[in-house]
Structure 1
Amino acid sequence: MEIAIVGLGLIGGSLLRALAAAGHSVTGYDADPATRDLAATAGFEVADSVPGAVAGTELVVLAVPLPGLPAVLDELTGYEGLVTDVTSVKSPVRDLAARHGVRRFVGGHPMAGKETSGFAAAEAGLFDGCAWVLTLEPHATGLPDWLTAAALFTRLGARVVPVTAAEHDRAVAEVSHVPHLFAAALALQLEGNPLAGTLAAGSFRDGTRVAATRAELIVAMCGGNAVEAGNALHRLIGELDEMRRRLEADPVRSLTPVVARAGELRCAWPTPPGAAEEMPATVDELLALGRAGGWVTAVAEDGSKVSAMRPETGRNSS
């Protein structure tokens, strides 16, 4: 497949490496000349403009932060191929694509990454085993386009999860966006507190790991999903306040059940997959799969069926 990747940071650069290693013809572009030079020096085809990168391609992957998307979409006017993205919030990107007249769009979000960023941190194996959301909007997303993207990314080792943009945004606020803000709040405990810095160990290290992510990326991610992130943050603050009340009242009898339940949920995660299954490749079937926490592992050549897995039943509440 002829593919263009616009934005060559950690995700875009890793995708460039992975797709090229899989035998696709891939052209990259980044607004930063130093990044373009770095990718070209690594042996990849790099264009000096967005139109130059996308010319003659079948698929464009937008791997730029949300604030940079409108300018890039302006340069895709008239593009006839399939467009996807890797942005960590989906409803605003869906709306931007519609406003810019993108004819064929499938929103995407690979749940992969690390604290380091930029093309120098990119690695071809970054997506192996990761959950890769591909949004599927009833009566809006072209199912053949969705299946094309799903086939491509499952071949990179990703677990493709079909959900709507709204469902994605609500879930990632709870398990990705708010955890970044909570990690930042924990890391601020070090401010003017050298004794705490000396005594901090594993629990602090693990709880603050993502606070080392570039602040601009965290703010763009959470700001683009401000409503759902705000709702999730409100719920978390409420749960913490309830823990404080239980701690003050009777920690042994009142707080223990809450902490024990949290431990049970964490020990049961990730839920092991059940048996592999084949299912019809219809919008309703795919969305039901995603809502059950399931994922697609492969797409049949004719697009009529998908191979899928879902969490083993009876384990989430153990």
Structure 2
Amino acid sequence: MNVAVIGLGLIGGSLLRALAAHGHRVTGYDAGAETREAARALARPAPGDRTTGDAWHVAESVAEAVAGTEVAVLAVPLPAIPDVLAGLDGYPGLITDVTSVKGPVRDLLGDRRFVGGHPMAGKESSGFPATDPRLFDGCAWVLCLEPDDADPADWLALARLFTRIGARVVPVTAAEHDRAVAAISHVPHLLAAALSGVLEGNPLAGTLAAGSFRDGTRVAATRPELIAAMCGGNAPAVRRVLAGVIDDLESFARELELGDPIAALTAGLRRPSELRRAWPPGPGEPVEVPAEVEALLALGRAGGWVSAINDGTVAGLRPETDRNRS
């Protein structure tokens, strides 16, 4: 397939490299001249390498990057998408994205040929030097479907493309995605930022901090602009989830004021402990579902994912959510 990747940061650059490694013809573009040159340098054969041609091409504009391609992937933060769209005027191909919020992107794309996407992959480092062509191995990659979509052909084409580079494709609506990621990604970034504040003026805390602090604050090292874009772009859902988390923390604070705080906390912590120990759910049985919108959405809503696209059917897996079942 002939694919353009617009934005060559961690996700876009890793996708550029993964697609090239799987034999696709790929063109990349990034607004940063330094990033473009880094991508070109990595694509060039090493001295003495007999390989002819580059692994991918790096263009000098959005319009040049997408010319003649079948798919354009927007791998830029939400605030940058309107500028990118100006370079896609008249583009007849399929557009997808990797943005961490889906409703606002869908609104921006309007009636263009578009399938929203979001690979649940990443790390605290960013930029093209951090890219990894195996970043998506085993990752959940959301591809959005809506109940009123008449023909899932474009969705199936992207699902085939991404499953073949190792991703597990999860079909959900844009609204379902945004509610879910507010809880498991966006609010955790804010919590990590709040926890990291304890290091301010507290060198002893910095010396004593170990595994629990490291794991709980890892994503706070993400570029602030990226955290702000994803949380601000999903503000309504983030506010709702954050309010629930604040209520839980205030409940713990009240329990600490009781006559027997240990007993009170133990009771309050039991259910969260059970939930975390049961995650991730155990592997379930492979399933086949029709290549139809409602069947695909039902699979995603059950926590399942697509592993391969076959002729007329979709191969997937519906996870086992009850670990006590024999």
Taking structure 1 as the reference length, the TM-score comes to 0.96
Deviation string, structure 1 residues 1-52 (Cα, Å, up to 9, x no partner) = 0000000000000000000000000000001011011101111310100010
Structure 1 equivalent of residue 50 of structure 2: none
Structure 2 equivalent of residue 280 of structure 1: 290
Structure 2 equivalent of residue 134 of structure 1: 143
The 1:141–1:5 alpha-carbon spacing in structure 2 relative to 1, beyond 3 Å, is: farther
Structure 2 equivalent of residue 270 of structure 1: 280
Q: By how many angstroms is 1:316 displaced?
A: 9.1
Q: By how many angstroms is 1:140 displaced?
A: 3.7
Structure 1 equivalent of residue 18 of structure 2: 18
Letter paired with 2:316: A
Select which of 196, 219, 224 maps to 2:233: 224
Select which of 200, 209, 213 maps to 1:191: 200
Select which of 314, 320, 324 maps to 1:306: 314
Higher mean C-alpha deviation, range 11-20 or range 43-52: 43-52
Structure 2 equivalent of residue 53 of structure 1: 65
Q: By how many angstroms is 1:194 displaced?
A: 1.4
Q: Is the 8 A contact 2:5 2:73 kept in 1?
A: yes
C-alpha distance in structure 1 between counterparts of 2:151 and 2:115, whole Å: 8
Deviation string, structure 1 residues 34-87 (Cα, Å, up to 9, x no partner) = 101110111131010001000000000000000000111121111111100000
Q: Is the 8 A contact 1:6 1:12 kept in 2?
A: yes
Structure 1 equivalent of residue 35 of structure 2: 35
Q: By how many angstroms is 1:198 displaced?
A: 1.5
C-alpha distance in structure 2 between counterparts of 1:213 and 1:186, whole Å: 14
Structure 2 equivalent of residue 233 of structure 1: 242
Tell me the SS of whatever aligns to 2:257.
helix
Structure 1 equivalent of residue 301 of structure 2: 291
C-alpha distance in structure 2 between counterparts of 1:155 and 1:125, whole Å: 12
C-alpha distance in structure 2 between counterparts of 1:182 and 1:217, whole Å: 15
Deviation string, structure 1 residues 105-156 (Cα, Å, up to 9, x no partner) = 1000000000100011001000000000000012247400000000100111
Q: 4+ runs of 1 displaced by more than 3 Å?
A: none
The 1:94–1:316 alpha-carbon spacing in structure 2 relative to 1, beyond 3 Å, is: farther
Question: Matches of residues 58-97 of structure 1 in structure 2 within 5 Å?
Answer: 58-97=70-109
Letter paired with 1:22: H
Structure 2 equivalent of residue 108 of structure 1: 117
Query: 2:157 matched to 1:121?
Result: no
Unaligned runs of 5+ in 1: none
Letter paired with 1:281: A
Identical positions, percent: 66
Tell me the SS of whatever aligns to 2:135.
helix
Deviation string, structure 1 residues 264-283 (Cα, Å, up to 9, x no partner) = 11111100120111111111
Aligned CA-pair RMSD: 1.3
Tell me the SS of whatever aligns to 2:138.
coil
Deviation string, structure 1 residues 88-120 (Cα, Å, up to 9, x no partner) = 00000000000xx41x11000000000100011
Select which of 158, 176, 181 maps to 2:190: 181
Higher mean C-alpha deviation, range 36-45 or range 23-32: 36-45
Q: By how many angstroms is 1:258 displaced?
A: 2.2
The 1:142–1:73 alpha-carbon spacing in structure 2 relative to 1, beyond 3 Å, is: farther
Q: Is the 8 A contact 1:154 1:297 kept in 2?
A: yes
Letter paired with 2:126: S
Tell me the SS of whatever aligns to 2:283.
coil
Higher mean C-alpha deviation, range 125-134 or range 262-271: 262-271
C-alpha distance in structure 2 between counterparts of 1:41 and 1:290, whole Å: 40
Select which of 165, 174, 181 maps to 2:174: 165
Question: Matches of residues 237-248 of structure 1 in structure 2 within 5 Å?
Answer: 237-248=246-257
Q: By how many angstroms is 1:315 displaced?
A: 3.0
Q: Is the 8 A contact 1:269 1:316 kept in 2?
A: no
Q: By how many angstroms is 1:234 displaced?
A: 0.6
Tell me the SS of whatever aligns to 1:275.
strand
The 1:316–1:174 alpha-carbon spacing in structure 2 relative to 1, beyond 3 Å, is: farther
